[in-house]
Amino acid sequence: MKTIDELLTEGVAGKRVFVRADLNVPLDGTTITDDGRIRAVAPTIAKLAAAGARVIVASHLGRPKGAPDPAFSLAPAAARLGELLGTEVAFATDTVGDSARATVAALTDGHVAVIENLRFNAGETSKDDAERGAFADQLAELADLYVGDGFGAVHRKHASVFDLPARLPHAAGDLIATEVGVLKKLTEDVERPYAVVLGGSKVSDKLGVIDHLLERADRILIGGGMAYTFLKAQGHEVGSSLLQEDQIPAVLKYLKRAEEKGVEFVLPVDVVVSERFPDLKSKGPSHPVTVAADAIPAGSMGLDNGPETNALYAAKLADAATVFWNGPMGVFEHPDYAEGTRAVAQALVDSPAFSVVGGGDSAAAVRILGFDENAFGHISTGGGASLEYLEGKTLPGLAALED
């Protein structure tokens, strides 16, 4: 995989460099609530601009349906990128139309432009190779070189991620190089004990990574909504908690395999429950109650790990040499149900382990709960991409950069 430094050595001054970034940030209206992904890719963009490149930044945001939708405009992200770079960033109001062509044509050496949300064009995400390729052809007309640095999208076979690198000389940006280097530490010559913390809502989203990690991890800690399918599989009442009953056979299979392989599987021993899901906007009182994990009342839903579980998980992480964490332990957006997630984050901060926060909601939680990002070994920008890498899957965006 060619690096951006090799590209710079060959010279980029005066050349149009297309940077596939990941500016898919959460928005409240037009206000960015977490700019972590923009901050992560800004150094690559700054490096190219400093070398005299004419930088064209492209990304998706959200899930528009292949047509322009103002709710998913990249304009706020472009403005924030300009603030981080300390320079004006031009913005094109389309992807490959008149505005994009004019904006790119107006670029001078060392300047940066952002084009509108790639998913406003149906060709970006099309499963039809020809349609996707046609859009990639249009994108290729805008640039001379390609830099892939949108790690959060490399598991997608999309036009700007997979097809476009085949049409231009290409290299991996610094962010992707860092992400891949970190993930190799989790899959090759891992320093042990190796602990994995998995949370989030659906157990079905994590079965692949559990299957793969049962061959590699020393202990796996489960939390979040997915924990209740595990508890149900053990015969416990879970009330109205999130439950994927159809996944119970798979869960039982993995619990048995873990036992056979000597992998320690750790489940909550107590949980925080309520009779209703909390209001995340007002964050008003929600009447939480802590109960034993095997004694959830029939009319209650589990929303977070309890204090005994928090202490148990902290102890299980204290002696680890390597930790991978993906997925919150509860509804961390509400203060009544944030302690489980906070406890895991704090355990990683307190531990000497090489700790990797696997993107997505867990990365957002670290920032929302006020932790210093530098206290962790690495905070990934791609939750889904990280999981698929750990599952051993081939990621289209990485494969496209390797030839």
List residues with catalytic annotation: 37, 202, 360, 384
* 60 burial via Cβ count (<10 Å: 0-12, 13-18, 19+): buried
Cα separation values, 66 from 148, 252, 279, 342, 379, Å: 22, 40, 32, 38, 30
Q: Are 146 and 16 in contact (CB under 8 A)?
A: no
Q: Are 332 and 199 in contact (CB under 8 A)?
A: no
Rounded Cα–Cα distance for residues 226 and 268 (Å): 11
Give me the amino acid identity at 137: D
Task: Give the pair of three-digit tokens for residue 254.
Answer: 């993995």
HSE, CB side, 13 Å, CA atoms: give it for residue 250: 15
* Binding-site residues from annotation for (2R)-3-phosphoglycerate: 37, 119, 156
* Binding-site residues from annotation: 22-24, 37, 60-63, 119, 156, 206, 302, 333, 359-362
Q: If we measure between CA atoms, which residue out of 254, 256, 253, 247 comes closest to residue 229?
A: 247
* Binding-site residues from annotation for substrate: 22-24, 37, 60-63, 119, 156
User: Residue ranges of the alpha helices (H) in 109-268?
Assistant: 129-140, 174-185, 207-213, 227-233, 248-261
User: Residue ranges of the alpha helices (H) in 325-382?
Assistant: 339-350, 360-368
Q: Which residues contact 128 (CB under 8 A, 6 or more apart)?
A: none
First-to-last alpha carbon distance for the chain, in angstroms, is: 7
